[in-house]
Structure 1
Amino acid sequence: MDALSLQPFGPNIWLADGPEVKVIGFRYPTRMVVIRLTNGGLLIWSPVALSEDLRRELQALGEVHHLVAPNSLHHLFLDEWQEAYPLARLYGTPGLRVRRKDLDLHAELGDVPPPEWAADLDQVLMRGNRITTEVVFFHKHSGTVLFTDLLQQFPVGWFHGWRAVIARLDLMMAAEPSVPRKFRVAFVDRCAARAALQRVLEWPAKKVVMAHGIPVERDGQAFIARAFRWLMG
């Protein structure tokens, strides 16, 4: 099956891995999530490069209604998605308007899900980080929490040379997905971050998906508590 083909991950939720991208000399895999909402429309979380195969698969699922940039760093492919789906509404976190003035942003995401997807998703902004403000989502029907960059895990051998050294020091190659050290240091308002995390921990999470790492498919709530123990301690 194609790397960009949609992979079922639960009721009305699919994953699709896209091509690698380079950021400051580091290779990153890309991943997006497709959620079919109660009204039948599709929500695309963190869109990857749009291929014809992927477009055909989406057409078979439904109509693309919403494009979501879950933090201000995940914006590389938004313009091609807006061109392909001009009627879809783009939602982004604080900071995206400044970074991408060329995009037609419908609204900024907050702690309350818009009515269009409130029946299917809950969300909370992880505030207080100097790198980016990330919105964390919870897909109610599959029990899946969606993180973008706050949790990462790269396999041994993914990076080489000095990049591998930096990745290890940054906790990007831990035994299980973890919060990179640069993001930990960048949380300058830990009270705000703890308040947001407390909401995340209240969700009955079964699974966890992240943009850069192997999905966690069981005991999601306990995994999130371990990954953020450094923040709550």
Structure 2
Amino acid sequence: MLQSIAPDLWCATHRFKSMGLALSSRMTVVRFPDGALWLHSPIPLTEALKNGLNQLGRVRWIVAPNLAHHLFAGEALKAYPLAQLWGAPGLIKKRPDLTELRTLPREVLPEWASELDQVFVEGMPLVRETVWFHERSKTLIATDLCMWFQGDWPWQSRAYGHLNGVMNGLAVSRLVSLVTRDKPAAAASCQRILRWPIERVVMAHDSIVDMNAKVQLAKALARFSPD
């Protein structure tokens, strides 16, 4: 079900298993002043979830924000065939079946600029993530750039979280750090992100941070800074 985060900002969570691990992923929804909805990192759309979205407005944009979060993008487009589907650079090669897919540019699209700003995180060719800043709610919308596993997870999931360094606070996972090929480029992108007046961080896995969010985020992104 949709959870209200802030005015015109919602999320919904999908729990699933991958290689025997219980995990979750979050879809974030932004409503524009004209009622258009922006779906970030879509999850499976149940009838209840579709009904909730339809009550909020009309789905105009569907966003697959990196090379990992795209599995349900086609399903979302099938549910909302009049929407535009946007995806990470290079995703079109990975998902040639998504024939309607448009590639996200490095700068925010003009039709989104009244509500969102964005930064493409350089230096991660296996991730190619874009993050967004929802200006009215002062919220950073990220996917895999940072994580924080909280809550009651099975021991296998907790062990995975500890191995990835994301159980004790907001952090860049060891896996994302490992696949970062150009840390100075990533650090420069993170400096751009930290210029935003961030008061909340919403990410796919699995927490929402709204206490000292920018301080915690800066500490996490320092992983990319030179030693």
The reply on whether 1:9 has 2:5 as its aligned counterpart is yes
Residues 75-133 of structure 1: CA deviation (Å, up to 9, x unaligned)? 11111111111110011111211211111344212331111111000001112114311
1:195-214 alignment to 2 at 5 Å? Answer: 195-214=188-207
Whichever residue aligns with residue 201 of structure 2, its letter is V
The reply on whether 1:98 has 2:93 as its aligned counterpart is yes
Residue matched to 1:132:
127
User: 2:35 is matched with which residue: 15, 37, 40?
Assistant: 40
**In 2: Cα distance, 1:94 partner to 1:172 partner:** 26
Residue matched to 1:177:
170
> Structure 1 regions of 5+ residues with no counterpart?
none
Whichever residue aligns with residue 8 of structure 1, its letter is S
Residue matched to 1:149:
144
1:181-192 alignment to 2 at 5 Å? Answer: 181-192=174-185
**In 2: Cα distance, 1:101 partner to 1:140 partner:** 33
**In 1: Cα distance, 2:182 partner to 2:87 partner:** 21
Whichever residue aligns with residue 34 of structure 2, its letter is N
TM-score (norm 2): 0.92
**In 2: Cα distance, 1:195 partner to 1:219 partner:** 22
Residue matched to 2:214:
221
Distance apart, 1:186 and its partner CA: 1.6
CA RMSD of aligned residues (A): 1.7
1:81-120 alignment to 2 at 5 Å? Answer: 81-120=76-115
- Residues 140 and 198 in structure 2, CA contact (< 8 A), matched pair in contact too: yes
The verdict on how the C-alpha distance between 1:193 and 1:130 changes in structure 2, with shifts beyond 3 A counting, is same
Distance apart, 1:229 and its partner CA: 1.5
Distance apart, 1:26 and its partner CA: 3.1
Whichever residue aligns with residue 46 of structure 1, its letter is S
The verdict on how the C-alpha distance between 1:97 and 1:57 changes in structure 2, with shifts beyond 3 A counting, is same
**In 2: Cα distance, 1:166 partner to 1:58 partner:** 33
Give every structure 1 segment of 4 or more consecutive aligned residues whose post-TM-superposition deviation is greater than 6 Å: none
> Structure 2 regions of 5+ residues with no counterpart?
none
Residue matched to 1:29:
24
Q: Percent identity, aligned pairs only?
A: 38
Whichever residue aligns with residue 232 of structure 1, its letter is S
Distance apart, 1:61 and its partner CA: 0.9
**Number of equivalences:** 226
- Residues 92 and 105 in structure 1, CA contact (< 8 A), matched pair in contact too: no
